Amino acid sequence: MNRRAFLATASAAALIPALAQAATIAYTPGAVDRALAAGQPVVLDYFAPWCGTCQAQRRVIARLMDENPAYKDKVTYIEVDWDTYKRDAITTSRQVPRRSTLIALGPDGSELARIVAGTSYEDIKSLFDAALATAST
C-alpha cells in the first residue's frame, strides 16, 4: 500500500467511530425519497473515501453532531459515495460538480444550502442549521 492510500485509509478509519454515532445513512436509491416522505430535512454528503477535503468535512460534521444532538435526531445525514454515484441521478439531477459537496434539503426537497469543497466549521454549521430550522418539532 502506498503512503497516500495508507494515510487516506487511516484517516477514514479514525472517523468511523465518530460518524457511527450520527444518524448516518449510506445512500441507496430511494433513501432521499424515504427521508423526505417522512418529513425530515436531509443533508447529502457527496464524498470519496480517498478525498482529503471530504475527510476534513467529516471531522467538522462529527464535531457538530457531538455538540448538538438535534442534528442527529432531526436531520437525516446521507453519504453519497462519489465513486459509485457520480453519474447517477442523485448526483446529476442536482448538478453536483465534484466530491466534497454538501447539500441541505428541506422536507419538501428544496435545496436550502450548498457547500462545494468547503471545510469551514462556520459554513458547515450554517448548512446544518438551515436543515435543522426546517425540521418539525
Domains, the chain, ordered by start: 3-133 (3.40.30.10)
pLDDT for res 58: 96
The predicted-structure confidence for 54-87, as pLDDT tens digits, reads as follows 999 999 999 999 999 999 999 999 999 999 999 9
The predicted-structure confidence for 8-34, as pLDDT tens digits, reads as follows 444 444 444 443 334 689 999 999 999
Predicted confidence (pLDDT) at residue 36 exceeds the cutoff of 80: yes
Strand partners, 79: 26, 45
Q: What is the pTM of this model?
A: 0.83
State the average pLDDT for the chain. Answer: 88
Residue 88's pLDDT band (cuts 50, 70, 90): very high
Residue 36: all three cell numbers together: 423526505
Contacts of 108 (CB under 8 A, 6+ apart): 36
Mark 68-100 as b/e (b = at least 16 C-beta within 10 Å): beebbebbbbbbbbbeebbeeebbeebebeebb
